Structure 1
Amino acid sequence: MKTAETTLQKWLGIRCDHWLDVMDELNIGAFVADGRRRITAINLSAQALLGLHKTEVLDRDCREVFTGVPCTVTCVLDHPDASGEKNPDLEVTDEENRRHLITRMATPITNGRGEIAGCMTILQDHSPITHLIDRLHYEEHRLKIILDNLDVGIFTVNRGGLINFFNRAAETISGYDRHQVLGKSFAMLFPDTETEDVCLLKESIASGKARTRCRGCMIDREGVNVPIRANYMALKNETDVIIGGLATFHDMTLAHQFNQTISNRYTFHDMIGKDPAMHRIFDMVSVVAPSDATVLVEGATGTGKDLMARVIHSASRRAAKPLVKVNCAAIPENLIESEIFGYVKGAFTGAERDKPGRFSDAEGGTIFLDEIGDLPLSLQAKLLRVLEDREFYPLGSRRTQKVDVRIISATNRTLTDLVNQGLFRQDLYYRLNVMRIELPPLAARRGDLPLLIRHIARSLCAARAVTPPAISRSAMQILLNYDYPGNVRELENILEHALIICREVMIQPDHLPDYVRQRNGRRTLQESAAVPARDAAEYHRILSALKKTGGRRQQAARELGMERTTLWRKMKKYQIRL
Structure 2
Amino acid sequence: MDVRIISLGCLSSTLPKPAYQALRQGNELSIEGISDAPQLYGMPPLQRLVFQTQHEEWSNSICKVFSHELNKFAECIKVEHLIRSGPWRVLSPEGEFLFPFDTNKELDKYDASLLENSLKPLALKIIKRKTLLVIPNDQESSQPYLESDLLNKIADELIHNLGNESPYRDIALIPLRSRSQSSTLTAGLFDAVMNALFCRTTQLNFASRLHQKEGPLLIEGATGTGKSQAASLIANTLKKDLIEINLAALSNELIESRIRGYKKGAFTGAEKDTPGFFEEADGKVLFLDELQSTALTSQTQLLDLLSAVSNRVRVGRIGGDSTRREYTVKVILATNRPAKDLLSEGVLREDLFHRIRDVVSFKNLNQLLKQDDYQELIKKLLTLYRWKSLAPLDADIPEVRTELIFPSIDPGIFSQIRQANWPGNFRQFERFSYDLYWALETQSSPEISRDLVRELIKREAERFFLPDEAPEKKPTTGPARKASVVEDVLTRNGMVISKSLPELADEKLKSRNTLKTFILRNKEYFSEHFLEDSKIHDFINSKNSRQNKNSHSRSLDQDEIKKNNT
Fold-level match, TM-score > 0.5? Answer: no
* Bigger radius of gyration among the two: 1
TM-score range, shorter chain: 0.3 to 0.5
- Structure number with the higher helix fraction is 2
More strand per residue: 1 or 2?
1
